[in-house]
Structure 1
Amino acid sequence: MRKIILASMAAAAFSLTACSEKTQDAAADTAASAADDAAAAGDAAADAAAGAADATADAAQDAGNAVEGTVNAAGDAAAEAGDKIAEETAKAEANDKQ
């Protein structure tokens, strides 16, 4: 009887150990999966940040081009106005001489 009880206790202890190992393996798998998910989320965030930076740089370039175009147009308009003033001044001086 004593041998049966000892054998039963040994079997129970072995079962608990095996169960504990399964639990540890499952916990390790869960932790590894969580780490993989966190790494994937970090990669996605980095990709999104890089995309946003590229879009911002493109927008700044476009804005710079627009400002340059506006400045050039204003310069051209000022030059045309200066030419027109010079032309009208010459006409007025010619009229004064007559």
Structure 2
Amino acid sequence: MSKGLLDIFMHILKTGGTTLNELFNKQYQLNEIFDHDSFQYKMMKMDQLKAGEKRNIKAVTGHYFYGIHQEFSRPFNYFSDVTRTGGQSHFILLFFEGLSRI
């Protein structure tokens, strides 16, 4: 992925992020990725990581807001899955349809 940068994948709901997560898991070793509040198959929050573990992380993926990079002290690269899919369109339609009934 990005040489020397922390890759941060901001997954947007219903946009097919599973495929990108699979690519991350093939690209990085288990101790190099923080994935949806889990590290090395253990559920934990970012603030529970030890300093050495944080230094080894090369990629972060999940439903995070912009600003997660502040947890790390190195250059970073954000990217996202912004292509709209049928699933997302369906989700948006159902969501707004539900709001009109309230």
- Scaled by the length of structure 2, the TM-score of the pair is 0.18
Query: Whose helix proportion is higher, 1 or 2?
Result: 1
- Scaled by the length of structure 1, the TM-score of the pair is 0.19
Query: Whose strand proportion is higher, 1 or 2?
Result: 2
Structure ID, larger Rg: 1
